[in-house]
Chains A and B, each alone.
Chain A
Amino acid sequence: MLRIAKRSSISKRRAALIRVSGIFWSLVLMSIFLLTMGLNPFEVYHAMIMGCFGSFYRIRETIELMIPLSLAAIGIMIAFKMKFWNIGAEGQILMGAMAASFVALNMSSLPKPVLLIFMGLAGLVVGGLWAFLPAIFKTKFGTNETLFTLMMNYIAIKFVIYLQYGPWKDPKAMGFPKIPNFTENAIIPEVFGVHIGWVILVVLTVLFYIILNKTKLGYEVSVIGESQNTARYAGMNVNRVVLLSLFMSGAICGLVGMIQASGVAGTLTAELSGGMGYTAIIVAWLSQMQVQFVPVIGMLFAVLVQGASYIQTAFQIPQSAAEILQGIILFFALGSEFFVNYTIHSIKEGQDPTTKVNNEHQSNNSNETSHKTNVSESSVSTEVAAGE
């Protein structure tokens, strides 16, 4: 019989080892899959890496994928830290892009810096409001935020499609349903050959590392995440913090929309986000809710996506293979968290698990009564003793 107990602590090294081995096993599984397809997995993986970093052009493509994923993940993380399951990044990105495009298309006569700042602000505000709305209902009535934000995504997508096929359709595109391209002064500048989004990413990563780890707001966010009642008891204004943080969360995603519209697409399209808002959730989750890890995990996903589109041309492997690989890696990464947080003891058949654990406990500490209520507590301390 197996018995599962929660770890009370684990060394960083051991946790990292478990996580890395999770990714390792997913690669092994994928390799078996590739072998059955008659392909050499090492060649495929090598090609994926080369497809991402083989030339300056490819590096730029990879970084341009990594920027929105990481930025949106930072936005999502602020909400997730409070156990507010904001899965509406997709919609917040699109609405931010929509607002920025509105500015870009209607005020294109403004000087470039002014126009870009207005676009950024529009993206921030509208993206923020798109997350603020579910937050209001969550704080006021306890409306389920997971489902609310999910629905908001679809409203945003349908709205942008509506604009694209209706009022914002480019009359010069000869009936083709597209929104006009931005003028030159609505395109964000490049720094070292890559659009300025990476500078924004660096700044926001540092900024939110400080906000979440060193400020009162960050402290309140983590207390609310642990227990709303504790936060209330400590005199925190929980609703205010939730609303403020959710606005920030949505605003960052809105800014991502502005960056994508201006720096990558050069216009607004319904495919602008293309599921990035969902992938960013996974990036945030795999980063252990630690801002400093986000760019690393964001890079990993950018490599997966970019590498996949490369091996499609190099090996005639359908791009869907990358989605399968992503799925497998995610399954293993999610599964490996269990082994970080819990341990498994084996218990001999026919033996009462309660006495067994307490016996172990006695041999370790030699002063424990066999109360049933002590089971979970004592198994934890047993584990600590065994782990160290």
Chain B
Amino acid sequence: MFLRVQYLRRWQPVSSLLFFSAAIQAGTPLLFATLGEIMTEKSGNLNLGVEGLMLIGAVAGFAAGMATESVMIAILFAAFAGALAGLIYAFLTVTLRANQVVTGLSLTIFGTGVSGYAGKYLMGQVLPESMKSVFVNFKIPVLGSIPYIGEILFHQNIFVYLGYVLAIGMGVYLGHTRYGLNLRTVGENPYAADASGVQVSTYKYIHIMIGSAISALGGAYLSLVYVPAWQDNVTAGRGWIAVALVIFAMWSPYKAILGAFLFGGLDIIGFRIQSMDINVSQYLIDMTPYVVTILVLIVNSVFKKRDQAPDGLSVSYFREAR
């Protein structure tokens, strides 16, 4: 940490702006994946299949984009594919009460297989210019004129803005609407939710599917905007970072924005440090998100923070067991 602070001080203001801007772009797929997983976990289901969902979203979005050259259809199709995969997960864990950890891992295996298989036919293809042009950075009026912050946050592409909107929208939904409140009750104590007339299974199904669709969009961002060409295993473990980020953000969509951009920055900082002749391996820096996440986990449990995982997380709900 000390090294990094020293390093930042020596930075030119312009290149640090570029760095933060790049950190946001690297953090956006994480943000989507994390938001999706928060939605799922709020319903009381731990889905370890985020990596698989992202890969499915990446391949579905890219394939649809190549076929139709329409950004809208590409994004919708990625979300639809994610929701469909979420439906498999929801059917197994909610209706058939399968173990959530094992089902999630299976979903990752399945998703990796699907994207690898379909990806064989997309190998080496590059997105057409007409689609790339939709994803160029543009400035948001007024907000974009704020010095520093505006240039970092509001000179971005449409997908990044969608991430902001989604995070804030989800925060409002979970915190200030009746549906959000019901959902949290389902996650914390499904028996109480059921007793007060909430349709537990319906809530779980809908939110797992929406959450999976959002996670899949994180994958689509990678193949459509970040790369933008098909490359095998394009997520490279980002789905697991998202699982970590949910804890880091303590299940809050607002904190997820901060966490995702922080982890995005850690993802790319190594290259910059090397160019500054500072001898810290990128591989050691790559470790920090996970170490930090463990520290957050420990601190939360030691101080018994209120904002912990939903109480009913990863426990199947069986009505008859009341």
Task: Give the interface of A toward B (CB within 8 A).
Answer: 4-6, 85, 87, 137, 141-144, 146-148, 150-152, 154-155, 158-159, 161-162, 165-166, 278-279, 281-282, 285, 318-328, 330-331, 334-335, 337-338, 341-342, 375-376, 379
- Flag B155-177 by CB within 8 Å of A: 1 or 0 each: 00000000000000000000000
Contact A143 B297 (CB under 8 A): yes
Say how far B85's CB is from chain A's closest CB, in angstroms. Answer: 10
Contact B284 A334 (CB under 8 A): no
CA distance A143 to B293 in the complex (A): 12
Contact B281 A165 (CB under 8 A): yes
Q: Which residues of A contact B294 (CB under 8 A)?
A: 148, 151-152, 155
CA distance A337 to B106 in the complex (A): 15
Across chains A and B, which 9 residue pairs bring their CB atoms closest together, nearest first? A327-B110, A323-B113, A320-B116, A324-B113, A330-B106, A162-B283, A338-B96, A334-B98, A143-B301
* Nearest residue, chain A, Cβ from B95: A338
Q: Which residues of B contact A327 (CB under 8 A)?
A: 106-107, 109-111, 113-114
Say how far B201's CB is from chain A's closest CB, in angstroms. Answer: 11
Given contacts A285-B99, A320-B117, 10 further A-B contacts (CB under 8 A): A141-B302, A143-B298, A148-B297, A150-B240, A159-B287, A162-B284, A320-B116, A327-B114, A330-B109, A331-B103
B231 within 8 A of A: no
Interchain Cβ contacts within 8 Å, total number:
157
Q: Which residues of A contact B291 (CB under 8 A)?
A: 151, 155
Give the size category of B's interface with A. 35 or more
Say how far B161's CB is from chain A's closest CB, in angstroms. Answer: 30
Q: Which residues of B contact A150 (CB under 8 A)?
A: 48, 240, 243-244
Q: Which residues of A contact B256 (CB under 8 A)?
A: none
B128 within 8 A of A: no
Q: A4-B320, A334-B96 in contact; A324/B120 too (CB < 8 A)?
A: no
Q: A162-B283, A338-B97 in contact; A137/B301 too (CB < 8 A)?
A: yes
Q: Which residues of B contact A279 (CB under 8 A)?
A: 109
Contact A322 B287 (CB under 8 A): no
- 12 A-B pairs within 8 Å (CB atoms) are namely A6-B318, A85-B101, A137-B301, A147-B244, A152-B290, A158-B287, A159-B287, A281-B101, A319-B116, A324-B117, A326-B106, A338-B97
B31 within 8 A of A: no
Q: A330-B106, A331-B92 in contact; A147/B101 too (CB < 8 A)?
A: no
Q: Which residues of A contact B243 (CB under 8 A)?
A: 147, 150
Contact B283 A338 (CB under 8 A): no
Say how far A147's CB is from chain B's closest CB, in angstroms. Answer: 6
B210 within 8 A of A: no
CA distance A137 to B117 in the complex (A): 41
B105 within 8 A of A: yes
* Chain A interface helix/strand/loop/mixed: helix
Say how far B99's CB is from chain A's closest CB, in angstroms. Answer: 6
Contact B112 A323 (CB under 8 A): yes
CA distance A373 to B120 in the complex (A): 57
Partner of A144, one of B91, B96, B99, B301: B301
CA distance A327 to B105 in the complex (A): 9
- Flag B105-144 by CB within 8 Å of A: 1 or 0 each: 1111111111111011000000000000000000000000
Contact A158 B117 (CB under 8 A): no
Q: Which residues of B contact A148 (CB under 8 A)?
A: 294, 297
Contact B110 A166 (CB under 8 A): no
Q: Which of the listed residues B88, B99, B290, B309 has the most CB atoms from chain A within 10 Å of its own CB? A: B290
Interface residues of B in 261-319 (CB under 8 A from A): 281, 283-284, 286-287, 290-291, 293-294, 297-298, 300-302, 309, 314, 318
Contact A154 B99 (CB under 8 A): no
B67 within 8 A of A: no
